[in-house]
């Protein structure tokens, strides 16, 4: 599995570099800012999920790379904009200065904007068929838009500005579902789409993404409240400093741990139908999805 994952990550890095080699007409200061954020050291979790989902459903890796890179571009743009002074005002990301600290605020806003356009351009111009391209654009735009990632971030900001939600548990779940979960679910659904998966397989993978996304966010909240800044590479304790709702604030640390474990279990259960395949690639991709979910529970170490 390690060599499979290493190969996959290399394929993703190579494709990200290729799809972000900017055409004539792109100013160098903009290209630099875009590539600084997109190509920064990262786990490449979302593109990895797209490709693994595609291969699990019998699709080809090369066919999945455009959608996989697009989801990472959306992720990178969202980090740039979330870090802006008017938003979370962060100066450190993945152990490096954030985009606006390094390139200025105007360039950072524009780099985010251009990365979003590049995501949809990459899918539209490189997908294996127009039908897959249109499907993936719809899936990703839905997930990235006002009822998905951006909607979650908008409500998150509202809370920072002093809004007190009447039902904290439900409010937080809805923020997590949109702000983090929607893009992770879309990563998996695009993988299914690229592979021409049937409705049943697609629903399985979306459900895995739903539970995986929740486990991811709960473990992120646990990390924020008890992780080590140097190891994690970003500023921590922000939730408690800013008096913001988080899973650990609302539910306590012990319940957060057990909720994360339950979400991981539900994610793995969602893809039961893919268990024990005869095909070697399908077997390893199934194992990757299981181990990626289980790995979330180790994030605190």
Residue 186's Cβ-count burial label (10 Å; 0-12, 13-18, 19+) is buried
Q: How far is the CB of 261 from a second copy (least distance, A)?
A: 27
Query: Which residue in the set 17, 105, 169, 229 belongs to the binding site for a second copy (CB under 8 A)?
Result: 105
Counting residues that bind a second copy (by CB under 8 A) gives 58
Q: What's the CA gap between 301 and 298, in Å, rounded?
A: 6
Segment contacting a second copy by CB under 8 A, of 4-12, 115-123, 199-207, 249-257: 115-123
Cβ atoms of residues 80 and 42 within 8 Å: no
Cβ atoms of residues 111 and 117 within 8 Å: no
Segment contacting a second copy by CB under 8 A, of 4-12, 131-139, 211-219, 256-264: 131-139
**Residue 45 binds to a second copy (criterion: CB under 8 A):** no
Query: Which residue in the set 37, 127, 204, 248 belongs to the binding site for a second copy (CB under 8 A)?
Result: 127
In this complex, which beta carbon is closest to a second copy, that of residue 120 or of residue 274?
120
Q: Which of residues 53-82 bind a second copy (CB under 8 A)?
A: 77, 81
- In sequence order, what are the residues at sequence separation of 6 or more whose Cβ sits closer than 8 angstroms to the Cβ of residue 122? 19, 66, 69, 70, 73
Q: How far apart are the first and last CA of the chain?
A: 21
Local structure of residue 179 (DSSP, 8 states): I
Segment contacting a second copy by CB under 8 A, of 41-49, 50-58, 137-145, 257-265: 137-145
**Residue 121 binds to a second copy (criterion: CB under 8 A):** yes
CA of residue 158 relative to chain centroid, distance: 22
Query: Which residue in the set 92, 109, 261, 297 belongs to the binding site for a second copy (CB under 8 A)?
Result: 109
Site string for a second copy, 157-186 (x = CB under 8 A): xx--x------------x---x--------
In this complex, which beta carbon is closest to a second copy, that of residue 82 or of residue 221?
82
Q: What's the CA gap between 125 and 131, in Å, rounded?
A: 12
Query: Which residue in the set 5, 9, 29, 259 belongs to the binding site for a second copy (CB under 8 A)?
Result: 29
Structure tokens at 219: 């473990």
3-state SS, one letter per residue, for 239-257: HHHCCCCCHHHHHCHHHHH
DSSP assignment string, 204-234: HHHHHHHHHHHHHHHHHHHHHHH--HHHHTS
Residues that bind a second copy (CB under 8 A): 22-27, 29-31, 34, 77, 81, 84, 86-87, 104-107, 109-110, 112-114, 116-118, 120-121, 123-125, 127, 129-131, 133-135, 137-138, 141-142, 144-148, 150-151, 153-155, 157-158, 161, 174, 178
């Amino acid at each position: 599995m390690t060599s499979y994952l290493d190969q996959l990550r290399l394929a993703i890095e190579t494709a990200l570099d290729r799809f972000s080699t900017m055409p004539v007409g792109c100013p160098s200061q903009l290209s630099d800012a875009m590539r600084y954020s997109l190509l920064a050291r990262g786990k490449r979790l979302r593109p990895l999920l797209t490709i693994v989902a595609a291969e699990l459903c019998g699709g080809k890796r090369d066919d999945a790379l455009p959608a996989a890179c697009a989801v990472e571009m959306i992720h990178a743009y969202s980090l740039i904009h979330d870090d802006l002074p008017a938003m979370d005002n962060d100066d450190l990301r993945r152990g490096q200065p954030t985009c606006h600290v390094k390139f200025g605020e105007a360039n950072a806003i524009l780099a985010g904007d251009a990365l979003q356009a590049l995501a949809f351009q990459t899918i539209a111009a490189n997908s294996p068929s127009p039908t897959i391209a249109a499907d993936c654009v719809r899936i990703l735009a839905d997930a990235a838009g006002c009822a998905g990632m951006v909607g979650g971030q908008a409500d998150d900001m509202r809370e920072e500005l002093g809004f007190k939600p009447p039902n904290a548990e439900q409010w937080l779940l809805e923020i997590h579902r949109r702000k983090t979960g929607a893009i992770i679910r879309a990563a998996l659904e695009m993988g299914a789409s690229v592979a021409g998966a049937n409705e049943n397989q697609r629903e399985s993978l979306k459900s895995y993404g739903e539970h995986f996304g929740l486990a991811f966010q709960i473990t992120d909240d646990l990390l924020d409240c008890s992780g080590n800044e140097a190891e994690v590479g970003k500023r921590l304790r922000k939730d408690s400093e800013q008096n913001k709702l988080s899973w650990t604030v609302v539910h306590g640390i012990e319940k957060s741990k057990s909720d994360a474990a339950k979400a991981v279990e539900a994610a793995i259960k969602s893809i039961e139908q893919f268990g024990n395949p005869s095909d070697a690639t399908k077997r390893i991709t199934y194992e990757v999805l299981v181990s990626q979910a289980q790995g979330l529970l180790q994030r605190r170490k």
